[in-house]
Amino acid sequence: VHGKEYVHFCCTSEDINNLSYALIMHDANKNVVVPTHQKLLQLIGNAANKYSELPMLARTHGQTASPTTVGKEFANFGYRLNKQHQFLANHRFPAKCNGAVGNYNAHYFAYPEYNWRQLSQNFIEGLGLEFNPYTTQIEPHDGLINYYNFLQLYNTILIGFCRDMWTYISLGYFKQRTVKSEVGSSTMPHKVNPIDFENCEGNLGMANSIIDHFRNKLPISRMQRDLSDSTVLRNNGSILGYSIIAYDSLAKGLGKVDPNQEVLSRELDSHYEILGEAIQTLLRKYGADSPYERLKELTRGKSISRDDINAFIESIDPKLIPAHELENLRNLRPSNYIGNAGEMAKITLGSK
């Protein structure tokens, strides 16, 4: 028996290629993507905890809404990202080693006495990969697409986070630390632009656009195979490259912003109309007549002062609600109307 003849024995090129790609993706995920995600989650989790009790005016439809806390808004994104992180961290990439059309034809013809399926499974699982028993000439890429579905959702969540941070910065809710060597504008010297969040958003968009093509193309191969997947697969590195650049930009951006407590306090104190929700809810609890309609007439589309709210509270019939509830209303402020946001913001993220 000539040993050299057992090189590439019974193999089609795809037996080698799919194993190589699966191992590349396994190592990239384990050594680069997952650790980078863990660092990001730690940054977001630290901010969630640090600012868990810092009240902030929320906005729904872009309009003022019931208050939240800065930390709770970080926790909202952190919780969502962490779920996708768990899927990615535990993902196993599938592979095959079963010959020209997936049936071990040459294997069984040459050595019928061996259990080739079991040998193939042992070999693939020994590499830390998932054995796919049903393939044509190619491993059908469903497992790779599942991985990218999770990564794309992770990236999309981060795009939303970047856009929210960009908006909070534009509202003055966050201050940007200046970097002396940076230029914000070639003509407007005062500019400090949120470029790290913008760069993150742009690069994640590039990564996700390539993933879209992967999802549409790779699960389809004509009959037992065509070569159209080969050139597409060469862009795995582009997806991961754009993503990692984006994550690094986001980490950089988060390291250069701080909540602007003066602006946050001023915003809350300027919008006492948001307490209409609390007041009408309490009045409904005690059976008051048309409480929602009364608060709607007082507050809808208006900026209401503390004096306006206090006057309304004092107009409530003291026989209608208990004295302690009236006192709670008198002590109510936008800054302390935050529900359980502070508690919810205390979150641990990033563990596998």
List residues with catalytic annotation: 61, 185
Q: Are 37 and 345 in contact (CB under 8 A)?
A: no
Query: In whole angstroms, how large is the CA radius of gyration of the chain?
Result: 29
Kind and range of the H or E run holding 64:
strand 63-69
Q: Which residue has the tokens 């070639």?
A: 186
- What are the structure tokens assigned to 292, written together? 């929602």
Alpha-helical segments (H) within 286-340: 291-299, 306-314, 323-330
DSSP string, 247-270: HHHHHHHHTTEEE-HHHHHHHHHT
* Cα gap 37→41, rounded to integer Å: 6
Percent of residues in the chain assigned helix, strand, coil, to nearest 5: 60, 5, 35
Q: Which residues contact 53 (CB under 8 A, 6 or more apart)?
A: 69, 71, 342, 345
* 3-state SS track over 314-325: HCCCCCCCCHHH
Q: Which residue has the tokens 């042992």?
A: 122
